[in-house]
Amino acid sequence: MSTPADHLWMHFSRMAGADKAPVIVRGEGAYIWDDRGKRYLDGLAGLFVNQLGHGRTDLAAVAAEQASTLAYFPLWSYAHPSARELAEKVASLAPGDLDHVFFTSGGGEAVESAWKLAKNYFRLTGKPQKHKVISRAIAYHGTTHGALSITGLPALKQMFEPLVPSTFRVPSTNIYRAPLHGDDPEAFGRWAADQIEVAIEQEGPDTVAAVFLEPVQNAGGCFPPPPGYFQRVREICDRHDVLLVSDEVICAFGRLGTMFGAERYGYQPDIITCAKGLTSGYAPLGAMIASARLFEPFREPGAMFAHGYTFGGHPVATAVGLKNLQIFEQEGVLEHVRANEAGFRATLERLSDLPIVGDVRGDGYFYGLELVKDKATKETFDDAESERLLRGFLSTALFDAGLYCRADDRGDPVIQLSPPLICDQSHFDEIEQVLRGVLTEAWSRL
């Protein structure tokens, strides 16, 4: 006899033994519970999603009300009120002249939409050769063919080759492992930005449409930009008429203490892609926010962006998104993050006394702890050790100790932390306590 566990194909999961996967049944505030009644601190906000925490009945009520009034209607030649209102709200919050909001069902679709818009825009404005994309090594931008092509993680791509041609990688802003200028953040930032110009020139500026960058790169374990990096990238993009796409699927909606990551680091993108925290996870929704300049050719009579998704801008999701952003304002969520982020950093930095913690990096409520074999030399673990450490021990041990977070080795081994934005010092202390115990044990097992 089969069981429900025999039929669910989980995402990015080894399916052998999947019947033993933890089953999460309930959430309240910063905590989740499994089907055995055990409580865990949600140190990852689900998957960088649950900004306002779990169990908010006000968001659930808005979803129920919208579903009863109008559960579904497409945005294909028709509009509905909550999509319009949320678009207006998002446009009012987005930096500079980013004023047109194209809804999707999630982040990968937003990235996909941004690349298609970049190509379409240049075709309509007399530069049809501009179609290539530059992105960073190790960066994750989604799994659809276009978004996966932009993704810089070879291990996620090789099974699906050939992918969409015309994407190129430049180095990330990993200053901990900087090939040069590791002791001078500004010089490192200039160097890292200049690699984008080198790539544009190598490919031919007439052929490059866009650069896709996260404000803080997640995969690899939280690489914030060095000072001046984005300002220089902006100059380079302007010089070569290349669009700067800020992929904020994780970094928007308070994760860095600002509504958008670009705001935190003071740069102006041409497009922002976002999702996750837009609804705090109470409904699935993503968006591509485009500048007035990019929208302009589509104002022409007869012009159309021939692109869309059945569920993009779903009425329930947009109603929830609107309520979510209202709560951000009513409850001062951004102010809360800004008031507490120094405490989060200081608490995590206490873990630097452990021999296995090589680097603690991040901003806002978004951090990565890089684990090393030798702190002095920064020697990392080989594949077998990483497998034993991360998958064989850490992921389960952290969870068993009551902390849901992520041990990841898409780049060097890291622990990723991205708690709900409602968390305060008591939660940070709990995170530190669990990590200290489990990492100490991991070290003793090496």
Ligand X SMILES: Cc1ncc(COP(=O)(O)O)c(C=O)c1O
Least Å from the CB of residue 309 to ligand X = 12
Footprint (CB under 6 A) of ligand X, residues 266-305: 275, 286
Least Å from the CB of residue 233 to ligand X = 16
Structural Rg of the chain based on CA atoms? 22
| Residue 218 engages ligand X in binding (rule: CB under 6 A) | yes
| Residue 370 engages ligand X in binding (rule: CB under 6 A) | no
Per CB under 6 A, the list member of 247, 270, 359, 432 interacting with ligand X is 247
Spell out, one character per residue from 298 to 337, where the chain touches ligand X: x when CB under 6 A holds, - when not: ----------------------------------------
Residue number with CB closer to ligand X (197 or 247): 247
The region of 60-68, 71-79, 154-162, 245-253 touching ligand X under the rule CB under 6 A is 245-253
| Residue 214 engages ligand X in binding (rule: CB under 6 A) | yes
Least Å from the CB of residue 250 to ligand X = 5
Residue number with CB closer to ligand X (131 or 141): 141
Please report, in angstroms and rounded to a whole number, the separation of the first and last CA atoms in the chain. Answer: 42
Length of the chain: 446
| Residue 244 engages ligand X in binding (rule: CB under 6 A) | no
Residue number with CB closer to ligand X (254 or 358): 254
Identity at 332, one-letter amino acid code: G
| Residue 245 engages ligand X in binding (rule: CB under 6 A) | no
Q: For residues 293 and 300, what is the distance between their CA atoms, to the nearest angstrom?
A: 13
Per CB under 6 A, the list member of 83, 98, 111, 233 interacting with ligand X is 111
Are 421 and 333 spatial neighbours (Cβ–Cβ below 8 Å)? Answer: yes
| Residue 135 engages ligand X in binding (rule: CB under 6 A) | no
Are 305 and 120 spatial neighbours (Cβ–Cβ below 8 Å)? Answer: yes
Spell out, one character per residue from 154 to 183, where the chain touches ligand X: x when CB under 6 A holds, - when not: ------------------------------
Are 100 and 292 spatial neighbours (Cβ–Cβ below 8 Å)? Answer: yes
Residue number with CB closer to ligand X (222 or 431): 222
Footprint (CB under 6 A) of ligand X, residues 136-155: 140-142
CA 108-109-112 angle, to 5 degrees, is: 90
Residue number with CB closer to ligand X (141 or 232): 141
Least Å from the CB of residue 209 to ligand X = 18
Q: Which residue is nearest to ligand X (CB)?
A: 107
Residues touching ligand X: how many (CB under 6 A)? Answer: 14
Residue number with CB closer to ligand X (107 or 312): 107
Residue number with CB closer to ligand X (86 or 111): 111
Torsion of CA 261, 266, 270, 276, to 10 degrees: 10
Least Å from the CB of residue 314 to ligand X = 14
CA 171-213-265 angle, to 5 degrees, is: 105
CA atoms within 13 A on the CB side of 70: 14
The region of 246-254, 390-398, 399-407, 417-425 touching ligand X under the rule CB under 6 A is 246-254
Least Å from the CB of residue 323 to ligand X = 20
**List of residues contacting ligand X (CB under 6 A):** 106-108, 111, 140-142, 214, 218, 247, 249-250, 275, 286
